[in-house]
Structure 1
Amino acid sequence: MSRLKVVHTLEFLYENPAHASYNEVRISPLQEMDQTVLSSSITLDPPVPLRHSVDGFGTTVGEFELLQAHTKLHLRAETVVAVQRSAVFVPTMSVEEVCSRTLSSLELAEMMVQTPLTAPPSGVRQLAQDALEPEDVGASALALCQRVGEAIKYVSGVTTVHSTAADAWALGSGVCQDIAHVALGALRSVGIPARYVSGYLHPSREPEKGKAVAGEAHAWVEYFAGRWVGYDPTNLIPIGERHVVVGRGRDYRDVPPLRGVFDGEGSSRMEASVEVTLLA
């Protein structure tokens, strides 16, 4: 088991004063069987009330509005979470069996629909077909995610939050969000339900206890092979005790850390940082 402290800071800066802004944040880790939230807080500057709700995918959403002129908006989320993940038993299921389950489950059916961000180009569809073992969805999904991770080089700055799986595939590079979108498109193209997961990752494979480091807002995938199985195609590893789950959805657009609108002229920009500390 690991106990991690995550501090996520977001700052919105406005070119000209915003008269009002309306915002949603999805940065609070989930309470789950293998992940226990020990403490969690979000502070806002200027200070305004924060309401909490849960969206249709089970992600915690913080909602707030600022109804006075402001030139910046600062948010700091601090969470301590205990993560204890054991090896996942993946039953052997055929594609036909998974398709049958999908027909009777709205949750699975929803995670079979391609989105503009995940729609796979022909090269990705061919990669998925080549990796498919019709009698073993679990082995197929794992091999497929590994091939995607090996095919796309992690390079920051070459894509944006609006880039698609097809964009990243054409470049042969991108960030974790892009690699997850390519993997989702590939999995869904061969009949395997898959969902986008947002969260945090301690960047060190052997973290030093008590040392705060620059962490990562991260993304990976979960595929259905009789049960949901998580895999990190960017780092080519199963989901472990360095991963902290924040939210799930069909793609990035379902789980952005901050979404909002403001009343004002000019542009805005966001600055973000994540700090992760292994406490135990």
Structure 2
Amino acid sequence: MVDSWRLLIQHKTGFGYAGKVGSSYNEARMSPRNEPRQAVLETRVEVWPPAHTHRYEDYWGTQVTALDVHSPHDHLSVTATSTVETLPPGDLIEPGGGADWAELAVPDNVDRWYELLLPTPRTALDEELTALAESIRGAHATPHAAAMALCEQIRAEVAYTAGATGVQTDAVQAWRQRQGVCQDISHLVVGLLRTMGVPARYVSGYLHPSSSAEIGDDVVGQSHAWVEWWVGRWTAYDPTNGVPVGARHVVVGRGREYGDVPPLKGVYSGPANTGQSVEVTITRLR
């Protein structure tokens, strides 16, 4: 029997300002997606002060709630509440399985995934990391085996340290200090995979922190990031925790890097921003 989970996720975030803001324009990427390994039973986004909102799907397939506020306000609060049914990892690829190096280099495949083979500001590598990518590629017969070995090495060498970095930190910085958060570890893995010639994308979502969660308990959850790579088909892996993506993971969006999927971003007219607040609560319902 498949052990599915049902998760209730409440994600509260927003900005404070040093005075009254006349107007603000924002985009929230906080609504999970319907896809084969998760079913969204309910999702809603609430905004304070009241805002004009509309929803659309962006270039990468992420659900976006666009909102603009035209009344004076000194803070903006956005709360996304979702109920999602999730499944454990499915048909996992064996280390020696998937497409081979020659298949990834076929021009049609390179052209198909071109945007996911290019470096971005947060995933670009230096000479040391480029050499690391080349050595890992050379040591493994298949791209999937190389990807798994890469995740293991990054997890062993880069310590997960809350607060060690910020949203602007790039892969090179995280590698040099050998510490970071899930965003940094995912950027490192994505950048190294692309340098090896493996199409890779950054995934943003949520993670329930406990594999033995009690039904009905509210816990402090996490906005989380992991990676997917293409070796004939897409496969997902959480390099921060060293596990396949499963029932504890909820996908919100995908892109080239964090800059494509920030939970909340926007522009405004008025005094200085005094900071952003974030609070995620996750409850296992069954």
Q: Do residues 31 (structure 1) and 23 (structure 2) align?
A: no
State the 1:149 CA deviation. Answer: 1.6
Select which of 6, 12, 15 maps to 1:12.
15
Q: How many residues align?
A: 278
State the 1:57 CA deviation. Answer: 0.4
Q: Do residues 147 (structure 1) and 156 (structure 2) align?
A: no
2: CA distance, partners of 1:86 / 1:179: 21
Is the CA contact 2:89–2:247 (under 8 Å) kept in the aligned structure 1?
A: no
Q: Do residues 102 (structure 1) and 102 (structure 2) align?
A: no
- Larger displacement relative to structure 2 (222-231 or 41-50): 41-50
In the superposition, relative to structure 1, how do residues 99 and 134 fare at CA in structure 2: closer, same or farther (>3 Å)? farther
Stretches of structure 2 lacking an aligned partner (at least 5 in a row): none
- Structure 2 partner of 1:232: 238
Is the CA contact 1:165–1:178 (under 8 Å) kept in the aligned structure 2?
A: yes
Note the 1:55-74 alignment, pairs <5 A: 55-74=58-77
1: CA distance, partners of 2:190 / 2:110: 19
Note the 1:222-261 alignment, pairs <5 A: 222-261=228-267
State the 1:266 CA deviation. Answer: 2.2
State the 1:134 CA deviation. Answer: 5.6
1: CA distance, partners of 2:12 / 2:111: 41
Is the CA contact 1:111–1:195 (under 8 Å) kept in the aligned structure 2?
A: yes
- Structure 2 partner of 1:125: 130
AA paired with 1:117? R
AA paired with 1:267? N
Is the CA contact 2:162–2:181 (under 8 Å) kept in the aligned structure 1?
A: yes
AA paired with 2:187? H
- Structure 1 partner of 2:283: 277
State the 1:125 CA deviation. Answer: 2.1
Q: Do residues 116 (structure 1) and 137 (structure 2) align?
A: no
TM-score normalised per structure 2 = 0.94
- Structure 2 partner of 1:220: 226
Q: Give secondary structure in 2 for the equivalent of 1:277.
A: strand
- Larger displacement relative to structure 2 (189-198 or 150-159): 150-159
State the 1:255 CA deviation. Answer: 0.2
2: CA distance, partners of 1:241 / 1:228: 17
Q: Give secondary structure in 2 for the equivalent of 1:166.
A: helix
Note the 1:82-101 alignment, pairs <5 A: 82-90=85-93, 91-100=97-106, 101=108
Note the 1:39-50 alignment, pairs <5 A: 39-50=42-53
Is the CA contact 2:89–2:244 (under 8 Å) kept in the aligned structure 1?
A: no
Identity %: 39
- Structure 2 partner of 1:188: 194
State the 1:47 CA deviation. Answer: 1.6
Extract structure 1 runs of 4+ deviating beyond 4 A.
Answer: none
TM-score normalised per structure 1 = 0.96
Q: Give secondary structure in 2 for the equivalent of 1:117.
A: coil
Q: Do residues 163 (structure 1) and 169 (structure 2) align?
A: yes
2: CA distance, partners of 1:37 / 1:137: 32
Taking only aligned residues, the RMSD between alpha carbons, in angstroms, comes to 1.3
1: CA distance, partners of 2:98 / 2:51: 51
Stretches of structure 1 lacking an aligned partner (at least 5 in a row): none
1: CA distance, partners of 2:83 / 2:273: 34
Q: Give secondary structure in 1 for the equivalent of 2:52.
A: coil
Query: What's the CA shift string for 1:63-122, capped at 9, x where partnerless?
Result: 0100111001111111000011443343432112012142341xx111001001001123
AA paired with 2:240? T
